Structure 1
Amino acid sequence: MVTTDVSEMDLATKVGQLFVIGFDGPELTDDLRTLLTERRCGNVVYFSRNVETPEQVATLTKRLRRLVLEEGAGVPPFVMADQEGGVVSRLGWGTTLPSQMCIGASADPALARTAGETVAAELAALGINFNLAPVLDVNNNPRNPVIGVRSFGEDPALVSELGVELAQGMQSQGVIACGKHFPGHGDTSTDSHHELPVVDHDRERLEAVEFAPFRRAIEAGIDAVMTTHVSFPAIAEAPATPATVSAAVQRRVLRDELGFDGLLVTDGMEMRAIADTIGTADGCVRALDAGCDLLLVCHTPETQADAVDAVIDAVESGRLDERTIDAAVERIVRYKRRRVSDSRSPSAARWAAMADRSVETAHAIAARGITLVRDRDDTLPFTTDRPLRLVGSSGGRASPAEDDEFEPSLIAESLATVGFDVTCHEVADTLEEPSFDDAQVIAAVDGVTADESQAAAVRALDDRATRFAAVIVRNPYDLSTVPDVSTAVVTYDYTPATRAVLGEVLVGETTPTGQLPVTVPGFEG
């Protein structure tokens, strides 16, 4: 149990508790050791670059805890990860759950709770006690480059209900759930990883849409909320003030009006919306002054050290009231007492014992969420008695937050598992190859909106192939580029479970029941 008395901490130790740092590689680095011991940083965040196997993660977490307790601040660390599911999954194993939008397509609150329980049990087994999820953004902007399928959908009521269930499922397993990105990143057409977006809605609209899921989650007792580096002129002090450093947003709206008394976490402070405007170090000082408790500085050791020093200097100079620091550390220690147990050692064996349940849950989500948006000519199911041609292209990731691991061969492997004789082709092969005319063909496309060659291939194949279906691998808004396609399936991600269920759908073993949780401009089902 956490027994540290905040009043007995020196300033460096208190400031260290405010920082969540990232690092490179699957082992403790010299830079990380220095930050944890000399700078007294109290928390870490794992990314895909830190993750290889369950055994490696369990060992890494054990060593990390030992270092912090024996040579660092002496307070057990928060160990965080972005395990949202789908395209934002740092632990990318076969147990990865489908995306939140796939859950949104199922519209099943019980399934959302089970998903939360399942992912948290996996994380807890490996010593990860803080999940930077669920995403509570209402994605109602088809051009949004950073949220998309990370959201449950465009309906504030649906996002609210599923978000609460997912969070409560996580917290029932002793893992902190963190709703993000307050006040809302769902109606932006730019990405805060690259620049400062602006949401220029009035207060009434923000209350009805953006705030609604956060209000519900707070009422239901969510442990943590993440801020967003987005400007909200209607509620911030000035039009160009990012919400993360706005006391009007954090203290007046979130703390006072919505009554949130949990942990307030910044989004990554090296993201360009902060780094290129305010600067990371000064941004950390301003975020604390605005009401944040935990500062994510995820990448560069020099920047991390500078940010720690800047906060200490701000307190010593009187720019930042030490009572502000104390209040944040008190909250941090309170939640460490509540959620961070140092009695159960991270264990890959314990993770393995629950892996089968995770696979079952992932399959259930995919089976309920995958959406047959149109089958005008009763094309499905395909037959395994004839060869299947798979045309595809890897679209790349839409945002640095997502992975970029999609390859059409992943779909081909899953289709082969259910009995198809599959041949893979590049998109360019469809333009002059006459043998497509009499074939059964699938186009597995990702990022069609940004890649006209994929859209052209879908249109051409739809006209030429005897039996044709488009599989929209990730973002349903891609349908707006091919609105007349005769048969289309949306999968919302390409996790192992989703690919497996897609094969079952295409061969007729599973009937897809999901419904699009967003409106696609120009497309009618």
Structure 2
Amino acid sequence: MLTADGREMDLATKVGQLFVVGFDGTEPTDDLRTLITDRQCGNVVYFGRNIESPDQVATLTDRLRRLILEEGAGVPPFVMADQEGGVVSRLGWGTTLPSQMCLGASADPELARAAGEAVAAELATLGINVNLAPVLDVNNNPRNPVIGVRSFGEDPDLVGDLGAELAMGMQANGVVACGKHFPGHGDTSTDSHHELPVVEHDRDRLAAVEFAPFRRAIEAGIDAIMTTHVSFPAIADSPSTPATVSPAVQRRLLRDELGFDGLIVTDGMEMRAIADTIGTPAGCVRALEAGCDLLLVCHTPETQAAAIDAVIDAVESGRLDEARIDAAVERILRFKRRRLGASRPPSAARWAETADRSREVGRAIAARGITLVRDRDDTLPLTTERPLHLIGSSSGRSSPAEDDEFEPTLLADSLAAAGFDVTCHEVADRSDLPSVEAGTQVIATVDGAMADESRAAVVRTLDDRRQRFAAVVVRNPYDLSAVPDVSTAVSMYDYTRATRTALGEVLLGETTATGRLPVTVPELAD
């Protein structure tokens, strides 16, 4: 195997191609430079901590690409990001698309394809050539703390169809799509960022539900699939083995049975489901043994260096066959040639040319996805001729995977822009509720009500006051199970600019909410 400038790859250079590393800050750090120059690390991943502006990201990507080509391995890098839409979007400049569950509520494959094309066009102009999306998990567990609105919904066919269209839209614009999290993180009640979840379903159920969207995406030609750090006793090598390091899952199921010949990418190897059980360096060795190609080590320079060294040591000791490394590198280079060969230099000016299309697609998704769950008392539409009180509280992230935290003032500002005379009240519980005049228009944001009874109690109290009241479910529609009898409820699925604007239009009666809940909410009254 040769580098881009014709040099033969030694073992260290080949191992460096297998690693994708994250770093702190908005410029290359000394630690990152050392990983690139001394350990030949060949790929990077961006998080919110690396992102400031389109111009900054374009400049950063160009600097990293030059560094890797001129002082590192000499092979163009994969530059990755999680730009799923909604609550997991690293680039948040007003063009962020609504969440996948909002797309699921629209049930529109053409919109999914347009979403893939739009997000890929943005990413490509900034030199980001791998999008760690779509999420192909079937979310059928209301208590799932990490997937939720990141999923299209609970129907495997819907998830597969929309996921395949989203992926093909991305790849049509030259960006690698990476479906996740194989073989499925949708039916867990714990978060693999914190511990090792276990899915106890038998093989037949897994094949019918969890595997189905991945099978559909593979048939469509998806480039990459990300593993999950979840244990599946029915299919893994042992009941305590995370799928990421299981040859039975990665080689025998994904490669041999499902016929996937693309890139297998691990989820972050510093997540506690790996770090606290196997350990990150040992986990990286075992992931390669299982059949993975690319290893994400996203946070700690010392751990990144130790993981690279552990893989080299495993080859030199004979534990890991160098032919396994060669096969992974050959696959990586194949996809780099396929997707990176015609890429243009990063440019914030070219990004600006793509932004309007993303905003247009985002508005279309929000308009089709926002869902009027119930309006029992014909509360809607509201009017701008009377005051509107918005009542809610700030919410924390439900998982480290998410980005921004919701603030009620975000929604208040959007409703004010729609023409409402809004007063925003941030409340912790019922004791903080303001007094408002009879007949006043009142909206309560519902976010985290399943996990916090005090938030649910606020909604129930407001609903009982017989004002013109509507509950707005900001993120997770499962929160309605905590207030199942609420008289009027609208589900947004995220708090992007597009969905906040669409909410105002629905509340005013300017548009009709046509979305349908893509998940079943327990206890929700008819």
TM-score by length of 2: 0.98
Counterparts of 2:465 and 2:165 in 1: how far apart (Å)?
45
**Map of 1:98 onto structure 2:** 98
1:11 corresponds to: 11
Once the two structures are superposed, the pairs formed by residues 393-404 of structure 1 within 5 Å of their partners are 393-404=393-404
| Structure 1 residues 62-73: aligned runs within 5 Å | 62-73=62-73
Bigger shift: 449-458 or 204-213?
449-458
SS of the residue aligned with 1:231?
Answer: coil
Give, as a single letter, the amino acid of the residue that structure 1 aligns with 2:96: T
Instruction: Tell me which residue corresponds to 2:502.
Output: 501
> What is the rounded CA distance, in whole Å, between the counterparts of 1:488 and 1:457 in structure 2?
14
1:434 match: secondary structure: coil
Q: Give 1:524 deviation, angstroms.
A: 3.3
Query: What is the DSSP-based 3-state SS (H/G/I as helix, E as strand, rest coil) of the residue aligned with 2:425?
Result: strand
Q: 2:5 & 2:262 partners in 1: Cα distance?
A: 19
Q: Secondary structure at the match of 1:468?
A: strand
What letter corresponds to residue 517 of structure 1 in structure 2?
P
Per the TM alignment, residue 430 of structure 1 is displaced from its structure 2 partner at its CA by 5.3
Q: Which residue of the partner structure matches residue 471 of structure 2? A: 470
Are the aligned partners of 2:429 and 2:458 in contact in 1 as well (CA < 8 Å)?
no
Distance 1:497 1:326, change over 3 A: same
Alignment of 1:17-416 (within 5 A): 17-341=17-341, 344-416=344-416
Q: Which runs of 4+ in 1 moved over 3 A?
A: 2-7, 428-434
Distance 1:137 1:70 in 2: 39
- When structure 1 is superposed on structure 2, of 118-127 and 431-440 the one drifting more is 431-440
CA distance in 1, matches of 2:259, 2:195: 30
1:453-496 Cα shifts (integer Å, max 9, x gaps): 21111111111142000000000000000000000000000001
Q: Which runs of 5+ in 1 are unaligned?
A: none
Residue 194 to residue 336, structure 1, CA distance change in 2 (3 Å):
same
Asked if structure 2 preserves the Cα contact closer than 8 Å seen for 1:430 and 1:436, the reply is no
Cα contact 2:76–2:340 (8 A) shared by 1: yes
CA shift for structure 1 position 434: 3.2
Structure 1 residue 342 displacement after superposition: 6.3
What letter matches 1:278 in structure 2?
I
Q: Please say which of residues 150-159 and 391-400 is displaced more in the overlay.
A: 391-400
CA distance in 1, matches of 2:69, 2:434: 64
Give, in whole Å, the separation in 2 of the partners of 1:524 and 1:65: 55
Q: CA offsets, 1:216-267, max 9 Å, x none?
A: 1111110000000000001111000000000000000000000000000000
Distance 1:95 1:321 in 2: 45
CA shift for structure 1 position 403: 1.7
Could you tell me whether the CA contact under 8 Å between 2:459 and 2:471 is conserved in 1?
yes
Distance of 2:429 and 2:346 partners within structure 1: 49
1:3, distance to aligned residue in structure 2 (A): 6.1
Per-residue CA deviations over 1:303-339 (Å, capped at 9, x if unaligned) read 0000000000000000000000000000000000000
Q: Relative to structure 1, is the Cα distance of residues 14 and 428 closer, same or farther in structure 2, using a 3 angstrom cutoff?
A: closer
Change (3 A) 1:52 1:5: closer
User: What secondary structure, in the 3-state scheme, does the structure 2 residue paired with 1:435 have?
Assistant: coil
- Code of the residue aligned with 1:407 in structure 2: it is E
- Residues 354, 63 of structure 1: alpha-carbon distance in 2 compared, 3 angstrom cutoff: same
Structure 1 residues 86 and 322: CA distance shift in structure 2, 3 A: same
Conserved? CA contact 1:189–1:197, under 8 Å: yes
Cα displacement (A) at 1:91: 0.4
Over 3 Å counting, the alpha-carbon distance change for 1:302 and 1:342 in structure 2 is: farther
Letter in 2 for 1:101: M
Residue 423 (str. 1) matches residue 419 (str. 2): no
CA distance in 1, matches of 2:67, 2:56: 16
Give the drift of 1:446: 1.0
Contact 2:88–2:150 under 8 Å retained in 1: yes
* Number of matched pairs: 524
Equivalent position of 1:487 in the other structure = 488
Q: CA 1:212/1:254 → structure 2, altered by over 3 Å: closer, same or farther?
A: same
Give ranges in structure 2 of 5+ residues lacking alignment. none
Aligned CA RMSD, in angstroms, stands at 1.3
Give, in whole Å, the separation in 2 of the partners of 1:225 and 1:7.
30
Contact 1:16 1:41 survives alignment (8 Å): yes
Amino acid paired to 2:30? D
Q: 1:280 to 1:170 in 2, by over 3 A?
A: same
Offset at residue 428 of structure 1 (A): 4.4
Distance 2:91 2:274 in 1: 27
Whether the aligned pair in 2 keeps the contact of 1:224 and 1:264 (CA below 8 Å) is yes
- 8 Å contact from structure 2 (residues 231, 241) kept in 1: yes
SS, match of residue 170 in structure 2 = helix
Cα deviations across residues 138-181 of structure 1 (Å, max 9, x unaligned)?
Answer: 00000000000000000000001000000000000000000000
Q: TM-score, normalised by structure 1?
A: 0.98
